[in-house]
Structure 1
Amino acid sequence: MGGTWKTQNKRRPGAYINTIGAAQPKQDTSLGRTMLIGNTQLNWGAKGIIELDSNSDFKALLGAPLSTPEFGALRETLKGALTVLLLNNNDGTKSEVTDEALPWKFTAKYPGTKGNQLHVSVVKDPNDLTRITVSTIYGTEVVDQQVIRTTTAQGLVSNDYIDVEYLSDATEPVATVESTDDGAEFKAAPGQNKLETLSASTTYDLVGGTTEPVEVTDLMNDVLETEQFNVVTAAGFAPDNNIHQLLAQSVQRLRDDEGYKVRAVVPVYEGGYEYDYEGVSVVSNGVILEDGTQIDTTTATGYFAGISSATDSSKSLTYSEYPGAISTYPSLNNEQTIKALNSGWIVFTAKRGGRVVIEQDINSLTSFSDDKPKSFSKNRVIRTLDDIATDFESVFENTFIGKINNDETGRDLFKANRLSYMQGLVNGGIIASFTNDDLTVEPGVDSDSIIATVAVTPIDSMEKLYMTIVVQ
């Protein structure tokens, strides 16, 4: 006798076995996710966030392939990020087409003028007139093709470019007049099947699509509050565009006022706004790729934003290579490089062998204090501190808040949970040795509050070698 069990109340002897999945560690869903504020008017695509990765169908989602020159910042961001959340300010009217000869209404998937480049081709098979091929054409390229029968018009489905609405596959009834002994009698003959009466090959153009863009900064404020990401950038906008300053100020508010530990990456604008903040990195120059393409500073900002989002707190980006780059643009000499680093700027540096590296993984913090020591200018340190703060908040909200008593036992449970987490950081080489005394959990002023204090020493990466060779 056997089976499964919920409570230990079985009467008969036997083995009662439950098979369940072990609880899995919660994945950090923000790692590798970069928000990119779009600088190009797409005239296509969903308004708001479009989630992209290297395998996305860019033509369907953005209206053009990734190789399009205007997508430079997106291409560079995708070199580092796992996922790019592209903010698209497209809005307007969707193009469409209806025709009495068709059993469907076709509407562009998204608003914008690019919807006017859509066409639908309906072709009968000359060897089988009941077999019909319906093709969606974007510009001159067939992007979707479906085969139906004259009797299965309802089977045509929407695709990545157009939405299909089934209307009716019969023409309107035709009125007829018959003479009878009592006079004329009016009747309606049944309508014919539209697809059966359709000519052999017909193409229909979608029309009426318009672009009415919304203000990107209005959208930006909304998505910064609601989307899951860890780095945001407006790479691609000119360095003197005030969107970079607005973005940095929004990130500072999110970090300091709301506890949302995200970071911003902006291009340098010499003589412009001084950021001087650990949550903002400033990129000072660009690169030249193997094919000779010059990646300017604001475009290269996308790469640093992307790779920053995908780098965890156990690693530094100092001396990490810029993929596909062979030189810098512009190049900085030794004096200029030191000045840039002292200003808290990211510098791309050309090295022997035709490679380009990130000189030092730093942020824009240059004013140090007891509350913000020099180590806070290192991005690896900030990633560590951000991860600790985020994990403490997440565990408290999901496991303890409203569920565990605020008494000595409850506080000990919270401390035990956090000690285990901190030991994991030690084992991962993220922080230095950690003891029980480095974490205290005490009752707060109110009966429902606790005060946790944690002392940590983030581990940095080796960056400087001072060596003396003694000749005997």
Structure 2
Amino acid sequence: MGIGAMFKLGEQKARPNVYVRWYNAGGYKSYARPLGVGAALVKSNWGPLGAVQTIEASDNDPATLKKLIGSGLVAELLEEAFLGGAVFMHTVRVGNGGAKGKLTIQEASAGNIELTTKYPTSRKFEVTLRDALDPSKREIIITEEGRQLESYSYEAGDNEALALTEVLTKSAYLDVKKAKEGSLPSVVSQQLIGGSDPTVTAEDYTSAMPLLETKFFDSLILDTENTALQASAQAFIRRRIQEGYRTSAVFANDLEDDFNTRIQKAKAFNDFAIIYIGNAVRTTTRVLKGALAAARVMGTMISGTYKSSLTKNTIDGAVEIVGELKSQEYIEAANNGLMVFSLNSDGIPQIDYGINTLASIGEDEDEGWKKIRRMRTRYELIDRIVRKVDKAMSNNVDNNPDGRQHVITLANGEIDQMIRDGGLESGAMIVDPKTPPQGDSAWFTFDNLVDLDGLEKAYLAFGFKY
């Protein structure tokens, strides 16, 4: 037997030797919340219904977005989220029904094939089927409004319909519903007909929300300013928080309301997890109002570290404020949880104050919850400690003084790291003195837990002397 043979905890060996074992002394991997992950519920003219489609920032060009999720407001919404800094967007196309476009190509005495669009859509695709330059091949070209989207070549012959079926498995636009073996006639720009977009109701948005429950996302946006739908989304966000998912949502007003009504709508949410935007900015490409403003702000918020503040954060590409407020209105907005845009000292549009809609704090809240930065710092702290404690419990830590101290040491390691990072000023986890441990349960609380804010208000007193 070599020196340093293994032993198990509590084992007594028969022979004299030096025995070793190793164990986890508390070095679990640190957890940090993923940055840049958002979610969106949208109506669109393209994409899968009733499914989550994860779109990446690398897809942020008009052609790719149109290929994945369609055109119009939905594409602009994702563009703005990505311009703000979002990395991934879990996107759900809402709606019910609709129809797929269809086209049947057939030879009277030979093969036939029925093509359909992949999804219900009003988009008009055309198909050209013809001989390729290589005499042994045929080709299919898929176009939309004269622009080529895809083309595929395949072997010509008596089994052409089946060869075309196989090659179209690669298509992002068309499916084959049925095919009969045989050759096919040439066609030029034949349109798939009968397609239509799904109908979209408020219930469709509500029923789509649970589809996001299996996904992590930092914040949610909608493609609508409908107050009832925003309230439904708030209920969904609150349920997610109750279930242990620390998340938020960003909504905005469509600017049809007067200022006092916007204030009242913000106050109606009264929620640290809901941000509500009350005016708009014009960029070099479009006006960011309503859902588009929410998308840009959400992208900016979720892409920053937990210490990032939105206060005085300039809007890239913005040139003017739409719906600029009076001085007193800016004060009212700040006091009532309405996020608004203002001009900085260089005349560039900025987020005036990084606040959420929490205006009247509840029994379990404090003033810090009103600030987006502090909300995100607290989310980060909770997630880090929850995961450290969970890891320790998974390793059969005992509910005795040593076991509880082990858990406390792990948690306080995270707190110390966040103090070094500049997210916290102080804090320590302790056993709750009011609730003694018993059985398999232990209660912990925190002593002097103080999270940091940014310096956002400076008061300068000039003492002049003559």
Q: How high is the TM-score relative to the length of structure 2?
A: 0.78
Counterpart among 136, 149, 152 of residue 155 in structure 2: 149
Is it true that 1:60 corresponds to 2:45 in the alignment? Answer: no
Aligned residue for 2:37? 33
Change (3 A) 1:411 1:98: farther
Q: Give the share of equivalent positions with the same residue, in percent.
A: 19
Q: Kindly tell me: are residues 379 and 162 of structure 1, through their superposed partners in 2, closer, same or farther at Cα, counting changes over 3 Å? A: same
Q: Distance in 1 between matches of 2:213 and 2:268?
A: 24
Tell me, yes or no, if the aligned pair for 2:272 and 2:358 is still in contact at 8 Å. Answer: yes
Residues 45 and 122, structure 2, Cα contact 8 Å, conserved in 1: no
Shift of 1:434: 4.1
Query: Residue in 2 aligned with 1:260?
Result: 245
* Separation in 1, partners of 2:186, 2:370: 70
Quote the Cα distance in structure 1 between the aligned partners of 2:29 and 2:404: 24
Q: Which residue does the alignment assign to 1:11?
A: none
Question: Pairwise CA RMSD of aligned residues?
Answer: 3.2
Structure-2 change in CA distance of 1:300 and 1:212 (3 Å): closer
Distance 1:24 1:167 in 2: 54
Which residue number in structure 2 is paired with residue 123 of structure 1?
A: 130
**Alpha-carbon deviations, 1:11-55, whole Å to 9, x = none?**
xxxxxxxxxxx99755633x31222222x4435544333322333
Tell me, yes or no, if structure 1 residue 426 matches structure 2 residue 419. yes
Q: Which protein is bigger by CA-based radius of gyration?
A: 1
- 2:173 aligns with one of 130, 146, 161: 161
Distance 1:378 1:218, change over 3 A: closer
Determine the C-alpha separation between the residues in 2 that align with 1:33 and 1:386. Answer: 15
Q: Is the 8 A contact 1:90 1:112 kept in 2?
A: no
CA 1:105–1:201: 2 relative to 1, 3 Å: closer
Q: CA 1:329 to 1:120, structure 2 compared with 1: closer, same or farther past 3 Å?
A: same
- Show CA shifts across 1:343-380 (max 9, x none): 11112111243411111111122224674222221111
Measured in 1, the distance between the counterparts of 2:300 and 2:344 equals: 20
**CA distances 1:375-431 after superposition (whole Å, capped 9, x unpaired):** 221111111111122233333445524743333343233222212211211111110
Q: Deviations over 1:215-261 (max 9, x none)?
A: 33333431353321111122x423x5311122223323332x32321
Q: How many residue pairs get matched?
A: 414
How far, CA to CA, are the matches of 1:297 and 1:60 in structure 2? 25
Q: C-alpha distance in 2, partners of 1:160/1:300?
A: 31
Aligned-partner SS, 1:357: strand
The question of whether the paired residues in 2 share the 8 Å contact of 1:36 and 1:86 is answered with yes
Contact 1:48 1:219 in 2 (8 A): no
- C-alpha distance in structure 1 between counterparts of 2:196 and 2:436, whole Å: 58
Pair 1:112-2:99 in alignment: no
Local SS of the residue matching 1:346: coil
Deviation at 1:148, TM superposition (A): 2.0
**Within 2, Cα distance between the matches of 1:297 and 1:350?**
19
Superposed CA offset, 1:319-356 (max 9, x none): 11011112211001211101110111112111243411
Deviation at 1:88, TM superposition (A): 1.1
Is structure 2 residue 439 aligned with structure 1 residue 439? no
Deviation at 1:447, TM superposition (A): 2.1
Partner of residue 204, structure 2:
216
> Equivalent residue for 2:224?
237
Cα pair distance change 1:200/1:88, threshold 3 Å: closer
- CA offsets per residue over residues 261-286 of structure 1, 9 Å max, x none? 11122225344462222222221111
Aligned to 2:16: none
Whether 1:335 aligns to 2:335 is: no
Q: How is 1:251-290 mapped onto 2 (pairs within 5 angstroms)?
A: 251-255=237-241, 257-268=242-253, 269-272=262-265, 274-290=268-284
Q: Provide the secondary structure at the position in 2 that maps to 1:35.
A: strand
- Which structure 1 segments of 5+ residues have no match? 1-5, 9-21, 172-193
Q: Tell me the alpha carbon deviations over residues 42-71 of structure 1, each in whole angstroms, 9 at most, x when there is no partner.
A: 35544333322333221111232xxx3564
Q: Which residue identity is paired with 1:282?
A: Y
C-alpha distance in 2, partners of 1:149/1:217? 45
Give secondary structure in 2 for the equivalent of 1:274: helix
Change (3 A) 1:297 1:232: same
Aligned counterparts of 2:6 and 2:106: Cα–Cα separation in 1? 66
Whichever residue aligns with residue 264 of structure 1, its letter is A
Residue number among 191, 210, 227 corresponding to 2:215 in the alignment: 227
**What is the match of residue 410 of structure 2?**
417
Distance 1:130 1:165, change over 3 A: farther
Distance 1:307 1:124 in 2: 51
C-alpha spacing 1:105/1:415, structure 2 compared with 1 (3 Å): farther
Q: CA deviation at 1:310?
A: 1.9
| Preserved CA contact (<8 Å) 2:137 2:155 | yes
- The answer to whether the 8 A contact 2:426-2:451 is kept is no
1:305-384 maps to which residues of 2 (within 5 A)?
Answer: 305-368=298-361, 371-384=364-377
**TM-superposition CA deviations, 1:67-111 (whole Å, max 9, x none):** x35644443333222222233114434334443445755332212
What is the CA–CA distance in structure 2 between the aligned matches of 1:46 and 1:249, rounded to whole Å? 23
Q: Which deviates the most, 309-318 or 272-281?
A: 272-281
